[in-house]
């Protein structure tokens, strides 16, 4: 099967500022360093109708990667193919058909919808760009789209500020669906919402996938959220994919130590197990130049190895990669019986 999307060895850096002042400051500081890539050596695929979760903390490069798939940022290296065709080019040089097939839903629905235009306008615009519909067809299609996200037809005349967060996110999803895409990039679409509303939106996304066979790249920082939505999970740390596998593989130990930290951070399980070393990423500062990026926060680092050598990509199974110096059996030894192991290993009744 040809994957829907195939991302291979992608590296993305943000260019340093080109302004006179910025260049002068750099010259004065004799700063000739290359910018640290926001994403490096990223390779993964998304199959038709599949949900791939992209998980990591702020600054891990999740959004950068999604934006490059949408053509909003150009990778410096690597390639991206959509249904086998190369798409490594900016959005304005992509064919209309490709634009239609890749849609984006943003974190904050309040700021992604035009507050001064009715829902009618937002949906209608997408339809007008991609389809040539008659007045009646256009009206019917808009009503159908609203119905598919469980909003009454009356919402067509509302302005975004009159919508709650959950309703606005439904409109944003309807707008993406209007294009009849094959892939929707969902960038933290739940984080601005209440947990109860999050649950409703997750259910809606599943339902829409069942009826339209759309694939999702679902970006989140909370692993618990993706547990019952994703087919596969890609874990990103400081721009590198540190683990990827099927959802079962990711939630069953042995994990990458960073995945173990993310699992341990899920609220509602009492005191967290991981030590103080596992501070927020920013406290540790930027990733070290050499060795494993996660080494400064890792409880199981091997002195003399992890800070020196780049970690190898280990294939725990044909579908499961881990970027780590610790072998699967070493990781199993330290993780099974720890918090993350206990949770995933225990039957549901005991865990609650």
Partner 1 sequence: MAAGTMTPAPAGDAATGGPAANGGEPLVRVDDLTVDYRNDDQWVSVVKDVSFSIGRGETLGLAGESGCGKTTTALAMFGYNKAGSRVAGGRVTFDGRDLLGLSDRQMQPIRGARISLVPQNPASTLTPSMKVGRQVVETLEGHGVSSGGDAMDRTVELFGQVGLPEPAEIARRYPHQLSGGQQQRVVIAIAIACRPDLIVLDEPTTALDVTTQARLLDLLTHIKDESGMSALYVSHNLGVLEQICDRVAVMYAGELIEIAPTAELFNRPRHPYTRGLIAAVPRVEAEHAGTEKLRGLLRRDDLPDGCGFAPRCPYSRPQCFTDPQRLDEIEPSHEVACWRAPDLEAEAAP
Question: Which residues in this chain contact partner 1 in the complex, by CB under 8 A?
Answer: 57-58, 164-167, 194-200, 203, 221-225, 227-228, 251, 261-272, 276, 278-283, 343-344, 346, 348-349, 351-352
Residue 3 or 165 with smaller CB distance to partner 1: 165
Strands 5-12 and 77-82: antiparallel
**Minimum CB–partner distance for residue 18 and partner 1 (Å):** 22
304, 330 Cβ separation under 8 angstroms: no
**Quick count: other Cβ atoms within 10 Å of Cβ 253?**
22
**Minimum CB–partner distance for residue 197 and partner 1 (Å):** 7
Residue 70 or 278 with smaller CB distance to partner 1: 278
**Minimum CB–partner distance for residue 132 and partner 1 (Å):** 36
Beta strands in 14-142 (DSSP E): 39-46, 51-55, 77-82, 85-86, 102-105
**Minimum CB–partner distance for residue 5 and partner 1 (Å):** 26
**Minimum CB–partner distance for residue 272 and partner 1 (Å):** 5
CA distances (Å), origin 166, targets 179, 238, 316? 21, 31, 39
307, 288 Cβ separation under 8 angstroms: yes
List of residues 6+ apart from 196 with CB closer than 8 A: none
Residue 67 or 297 with smaller CB distance to partner 1: 297
Residue 100 or 232 with smaller CB distance to partner 1: 232
Nearest alpha carbon to residue 311 among 262, 238, 249: 238
Separation CA 230–CA 90 (nearest Å): 28
Which residue is listed with tokens 């990103």?
Answer: 236
**Minimum CB–partner distance for residue 320 and partner 1 (Å):** 18
Residue 4 or 225 with smaller CB distance to partner 1: 225
Q: What is the DSSP string of 146-158?
A: HHHTT--GGGGG-
Residue 263 or 326 with smaller CB distance to partner 1: 263
Which residue is listed with tokens 């579908």?
Answer: 319
């Amino acid at each position: 099967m040809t994957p829907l999307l195939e991302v291979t060895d992608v590296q993305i850096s943000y260019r340093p500022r080109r302004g006179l002042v910025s260049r002068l400051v750099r010259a004065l500081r004799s700063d000739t360093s290359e910018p640290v890539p926001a994403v490096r050596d990223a390779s993964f695929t998304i199959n038709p109708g599949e949900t791939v979760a992209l998980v990591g903390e702020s600054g891990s490069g999740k959004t950068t990667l999604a934006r490059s798939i949408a053509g909003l940022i150009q990778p410096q290296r690597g390639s991206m193919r959509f249904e086998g065709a190369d798409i490594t080019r900016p959005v304005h040089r992509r064919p209309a058909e490709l634009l239609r097939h890749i849609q984006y839903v943003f974190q904050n629905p309040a700021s992604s919808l035009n507050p001064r235009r009715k829902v009618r306008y937002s949906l209608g615009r997408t339809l007008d760009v991609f389809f040539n519909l008659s007045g009646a067809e256009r009206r019917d299609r808009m009503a159908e789209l609203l119905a598919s996200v469980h909003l009454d037809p009356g919402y067509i005349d509302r302005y975004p500020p009159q919508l709650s967060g959950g309703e606005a996110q439904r409109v944003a999803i309807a707008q993406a669906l209007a294009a009849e895409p094959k892939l929707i990039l969902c960038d933290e679409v739940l984080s601005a919402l209440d947990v109860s509303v999050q649950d409703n939106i997750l259910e809606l996304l599943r339902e829409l996938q069942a009826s339209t066979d759309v694939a999702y790249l679902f970006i989140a920082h909370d692993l618990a959220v993706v547990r019952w939505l994703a087919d596969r999970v890609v874990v990103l740390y400081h721009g590198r994919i540190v683990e990827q596998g099927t959802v079962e593989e990711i939630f069953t130990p042995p994990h990458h130590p960073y995945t173990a930290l993310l699992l341990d951070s899920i609220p509602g399980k009492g005191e967290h197990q991981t030590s103080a070393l596992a501070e927020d990423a920013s406290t540790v500062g930027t990733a070290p130049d050499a060795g494993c990026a996660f080494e400064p926060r890792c409880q199981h680092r091997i002195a003399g190895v992890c800070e020196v050598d780049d970690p190898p990509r280990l294939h725990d199974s044909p579908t499961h990669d881990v970027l780590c110096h610790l072998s699967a059996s070493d990781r199993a030894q330290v993780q099974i019986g720890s918090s993350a192991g206990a949770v995933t290993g225990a039957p549901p009744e005991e865990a609650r």
